[in-house]
Amino acid sequence: MKLTVPLLLASLVVLPAAAQLKVQHLQSADSGIASAVWAGDTLYVSGKLARSFDGDTRAQTADVLKQFEATLREQGLGLGDVVQMRVYLVADAAGKLDFAGMNEAYKEYFGTAAQPNKPARATVQVAALVVPKALVEIEVVAVRGLPAKK
């Protein structure tokens, strides 16, 4: 009984906060998945592929990151708001992964003087992606933050 009352009181404080979490799915009727999902101040963006598959890993990565830049801008965010990134890379026919090419493009968007923030990141090799010539797929999580304190 001594523990029951404090737990009940604590749940009265926690439940209203959890009930206020707003979830919004950004999706089109012709797609089988949401392009992104807002959960509170967190935006989960589905994996993106390059728009052209003629380029190498570096070119495809740059194209994907440019797409994320536009997607985030549409949602009132920027690349500096990205807190997590997952990168899926396909190796060439010899099994060699072009991590350096991916990282070159990545460094043009993250950790720069203009945009110094870097997300937590995982990079994994996959056998293939949905589109045969795709070499890179990236998904990100971004958080709408509070203004920086001085």
Hey, where are the domains in the chain? 21-143
Helices (H) and strands (E) in the chain, counts: 3, 6
19 pLDDT more than 70: no
pLDDT number for residue 29: 75
Nearest-angstrom CA–CA distance, 140 and 84? 6
Lowest mean pLDDT among 26-30, 61-65, 87-91: 26-30
Q: What is the pTM of this model?
A: 0.81
Mean pLDDT of the chain: 87
Structure tokens at 99: 């991590």
Nearest-angstrom CA–CA distance, 47 and 64? 9
pLDDT number for residue 146: 57
22 pLDDT more than 90: no
Query: Which has the closest alpha carbon to 115: 103, 104, 107?
Result: 107
134 pLDDT more than 80: yes
Nearest-angstrom CA–CA distance, 11 and 141? 29
| SS3 call for 125 | strand
Dihedral angle sign, alpha carbons of residues 13, 19, 20, 22: positive
Lowest mean pLDDT among 5-14, 98-107, 128-137: 5-14
Max intra-chain CA distance, the chain: 68
The pLDDT confidence band at residue 87, using thresholds 50, 70 and 90, is very high
| SS3 call for 47 | strand
pLDDT number for residue 149: 45
The pLDDT confidence band at residue 13, using thresholds 50, 70 and 90, is low
What are residue 136's DSSP bridge partners? 89
10 pLDDT more than 90: no
**CATH homologous superfamily for the domain 21-143:** RutC-like (3.30.1330.40)
pLDDT number for residue 28: 76
